Amino acid sequence: MPFAATKDNIHLYYETIGEGEPLLLVMGQGSDHRGWDGVRDDFASKFQVIVYDHRGTGQSDMPEHPPYSTQSFAQDAVAILDHLGIQRAHAYGISMGGRVCQWLGLDHPDRIGSLVLGCTTPGNLHGVKRPPEVDDALSSADFVRMMDTLVSSEWLASNPEFLENMAEMAKNPIPQYAQQLHYLASEGHEAWDLLPAITAPTLVIHGSDDQVNMTANAQLLADQIPGAELYIVEGGRHIFFEEFREESSRVVNDFLARHPLS
């Protein structure tokens, strides 16, 4: 099985698919690489797509110490690139993965060709916070309570496999301590003052009806990152990239095509 080792000797599971310029897909809080299953094929015809399990999730190691952070998650992502011998890649992060991508752009600018920041925030100090009831459900990883914030009921009714897939993943949940470490890492993210230093071409993409990471955060990020583009998926909730798959994948592919690595 493919694993990459980090500098602190944590083993991270990864998979690759497709050929072309490398595209690292970075999943959100408490989620493993399977969160990309619904859309990763949309990029594999043009890119070498890399998905992986964060430490604490999936088949990767699950250390209890030291505390996790979005900045250290970015170091983990670079370890994947190092293992694969990839010098530069595009990076597309969702939710907490978008916070991780901010640190990729800040701490590892020579490794990143372009960034896509999906349904994410700059941190709570300057960002717009989610409603308390949504935060309670997120902190406890109660995705059943959160379902109507993830996708619309109409889409869910016509796509029952989405709920089936989530139920399947829930059969093997990450340990509670790891879930809490992920939550604290994501909530502890703060990059606002540094964001103007990002030099990689950046696309900020967000659903218009997102209550997990409030949509107003998208404009804040786009204004704070020099030259960033902003795209709002009308009607999209937190998992806009699946419910509005055709539209969002097209927008991301078009952006990446305009910013080749070479």
| pLDDT score at 136 | 86
Q: How do residues 45-91 score in pLDDT, each as one tens digit? A: 999 999 999 999 999 999 999 999 999 999 999 999 999 999 999 99
| pLDDT score at 169 | 78
Task: Determine the angle formed by the axes of helices 143-150 and 160-170, rounding to 10 degrees.
Answer: 150
Q: How do residues 215-253 score in pLDDT, each as one tens digit? A: 999 999 999 999 999 999 999 999 999 999 999 999 999
262 — pLDDT class (breaks 50, 70, 90)? confident
**Domain boundaries, position 216:** 3-257
Q: How do residues 80-128 score in pLDDT, each as one tens digit? A: 999 999 999 999 999 999 999 999 999 999 999 999 999 999 999 999 9
| pLDDT score at 65 | 93
| pLDDT score at 257 | 98
Within a domain: residue 8? yes
| pLDDT score at 145 | 74
| pLDDT score at 25 | 98
What CATH number does residue 24 fall under? 3.40.50.1820
Question: Is the pTM higher than 0.85?
Answer: yes
Structure tokens at 100: 């991780």
Asked whether residue 135 carries a pLDDT value surpassing 90, the answer given is no
| pLDDT score at 159 | 93
Asked whether residue 1 carries a pLDDT value surpassing 80, the answer given is no
Within a domain: residue 262? no
Within a domain: residue 152? yes
How many separate domains does the chain show?
A: 1
| pLDDT score at 31 | 93
Structure tokens at 136: 């309670």
Give the integer Cα–Cα distance in Å for 52 and 93: 12
Q: How do residues 152-211 score in pLDDT, each as one tens digit? A: 999 999 999 988 888 777 777 889 999 999 999 999 999 999 999 999 999 999 999 999
| pLDDT score at 124 | 95
Cβ within 8 Å of residue 261, ≥6 positions away = 21, 22, 88, 89, 90, 113
Within a domain: residue 212? yes
| pLDDT score at 164 | 85
| pLDDT score at 48 | 98
Asked whether residue 143 carries a pLDDT value surpassing 80, the answer given is no
| pLDDT score at 108 | 98
How confident is the model over 133-152, as a mean pLDDT? 82
